[in-house]
């Protein structure tokens, strides 16, 4: 029988992760049972004190990093709180907002906050692509939540927070022939690059994996034109902030404009190759890019000045022995 008629979805609430005083790292090993589909993080807390120099990325900055790592050395997910809430959050599954209850995009201020996240491990909530088999005593997957130092959230801030993880698991079918192919991992990785000056800035992609999407966030500056270049002279896409805003709206049904810690829409760029057929991550793979077949794969971004480029790369990675 097909996998979907041989399994069922289960959820399990894991022990609460409590933010250490002043900031630090919390982590937990995931249960060694079933196939891991996705993880939700219920992150709540509050800020007190007399604040100055608030982090320009807003309340999202409270979470310094979220990682889902394996004992084989593979990072399945490695993103910041800001990277999640300003980029990945808009493209998780069906391109709806998975955490509308969150105020992570608000400016840092005293009071309560909600920084909930939905972390995709599989490509989507329907298909088995990217599922991770946890039911192996020699294989461990660990969730790591790193909390930003209170002083980096804002001078004078005291931040208290907890994270309640929930894992979404699929039962392993008893018959081997009914089990899904797990030879490919769905990997989401974030990096940060300094932009030295105004003009055309080139962000060169690694060319070893299949790209499902690359999302950029500029901080400290804005852009006037963004182009996606392959083979040194072929441009697959070209946008101004206004045309990117329209593209985003046609895919998600939402305005790209932000209000809060970041305002406007000229700081976010979405190269998305799954949602271009109108079905979010549930559609075809028509526009995905196999980087191994190219000699050049580059975002060319015309910026107004110096700043920082935060980039999330969403990829399919083949696994040896998967």
- Looking at the structure, do residues 102 and 243 belong to the same domain, yes or no? no
Q: Do both 214 and 283 map to the same domain?
A: yes
Domain boundary among 185, 203, 236: 185
Q: Residue 212's domain spans which residues?
A: 189-318
11 and 139 inside one domain: yes
Question: Is the pLDDT confidence value at 166 over 90?
Answer: yes
Q: What is the pLDDT of residue 279?
A: 74
Whether residue 136 is found in the same domain as residue 204: no
Give me the helices (H) in 238-321, please. Answer: 241-252
Residues 169 and 199 in one domain: no
Is there a single domain that holds both residue 39 and residue 170? yes
Strands 75-79 and 184-195 turn out to be: parallel
Q: Could you report the per-residue pLDDT of 104-153, keeping only the tens digit for each?
A: 999 999 999 999 999 999 999 888 999 999 999 899 999 999 999 999 99
* Co-location of 15 and 148 in the same domain: yes
Mean pLDDT across the stretch 192-211? 95
User: 107 and 176 in one domain?
Assistant: yes
Nearest to 112 by CA among 48, 22, 65, 58: 48
Between CA 248 and CA 271 the distance in angstroms is 10
Q: How confident is the model at residue 276 (pLDDT cuts 50, 70, 90)?
A: confident
CATH number for the domain spanning 67: value is 2.70.9.30
Residue 81 CB: number of other CB atoms within 10 A? 25
Are 70 and 122 in the same domain? Answer: yes
Given 158, 185, 212, the domain boundary residue is: 185
Q: What is the mean pLDDT of the chain?
A: 94
Which carries the bigger pLDDT value, residue 174 or residue 278?
174
Overall pTM > 0.85: yes
> d(Cα 139, Cα 224) in Å, to the nearest integer?
46
**Pair (174, 215) in one structural domain:** no
Would you call 143 exposed, middle or buried from its count of C-beta atoms within 10 A (0-12, 13-18, 19+)?
Answer: buried
Model confidence over 279-304: pLDDT tens digits?
778 777 888 999 999 999 999 999 99
Please say which residue of 185, 218, 240 terminates a domain: 185
pLDDT at 321: 53
Is the pLDDT at 243 greater than 90? The verdict is yes
Give tens-digit pLDDT for 115-124: 999 999 999 9
Residues 277 and 206 in one domain: yes
157 and 208 inside one domain: no
pLDDT for the residue numbered 121: 97
Residue 266's domain is classified under what CATH number? 2.60.120.730
Q: Is the pLDDT of residue 93 over 70?
A: yes
The total number of structural domains that make up the chain: 2
Above 90 in pLDDT, residue 319? no
Specify the long-range contacts of residues 176-181, CB closer than 8 Å, at least 24 apart: 178/1, 178/2, 178/3, 178/6, 179/3, 179/6, 180/3, 180/35, 180/128, 180/131, 181/128, 181/322
* 168, pLDDT greater than 80: yes
């Amino acid at each position: 029988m097909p996998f979907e008629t041989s399994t069922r979805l289960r959820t399990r609430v894991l022990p609460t992760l409590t933010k250490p005083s002043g900031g630090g790292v919390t982590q937990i090993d995931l249960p060694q049972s079933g196939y891991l589909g996705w993880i939700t993080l219920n992150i709540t807390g509050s800020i007190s004190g007399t604040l100055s120099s608030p982090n320009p990325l807003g309340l999202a900055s409270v979470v310094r990093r979220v990682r889902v790592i394996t004992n084989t050395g593979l990072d399945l997910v490695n993103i910041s709180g800001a990277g999640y809430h300003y980029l990945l959050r808009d493209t998780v599954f069906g391109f709806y907002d998975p955490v509308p209850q969150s105020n992570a995009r608000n400016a840092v201020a005293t009071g309560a906050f909600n920084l909930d996240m939905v972390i995709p491990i599989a490509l989507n909530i329907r298909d088995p692509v990217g599922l991770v088999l946890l039911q192996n005593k020699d294989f461990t997957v660990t969730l790591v939540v790193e909390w930003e130092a209170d002083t980096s959230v804002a001078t004078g801030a005291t931040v208290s927070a907890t994270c309640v993880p929930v894992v979404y698991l699929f039962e392993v079918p008893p018959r081997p022939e009914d089990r899904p192919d797990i030879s490919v991992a769905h990997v989401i990785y974030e990096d940060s690059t300094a932009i030295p000056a105004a003009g055309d800035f080139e962000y060169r992609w690694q060319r070893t994996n299949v790209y499902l999407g690359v999302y950029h966030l500029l901080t400290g500056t804005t852009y006037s034109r963004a182009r996606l270049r392959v083979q040194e002279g072929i441009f697959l896409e070209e946008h101004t902030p206004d045309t990117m805003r329209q593209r985003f709206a046609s895919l998600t049904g939402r305005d790209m404009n932000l209000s809060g810690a970041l305002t406007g829409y000229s700081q976010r760029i979405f190269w998305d190759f799954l949602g271009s057929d109108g079905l979010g991550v549930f559609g075809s793979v028509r526009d995905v890019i196999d980087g191994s077949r190219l000699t050049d794969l580059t975002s060319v971004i015309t910026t107004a000045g110096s700043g920082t480029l935060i980039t999330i790369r969403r990829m399919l990675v083949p696994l040896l022995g998967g």
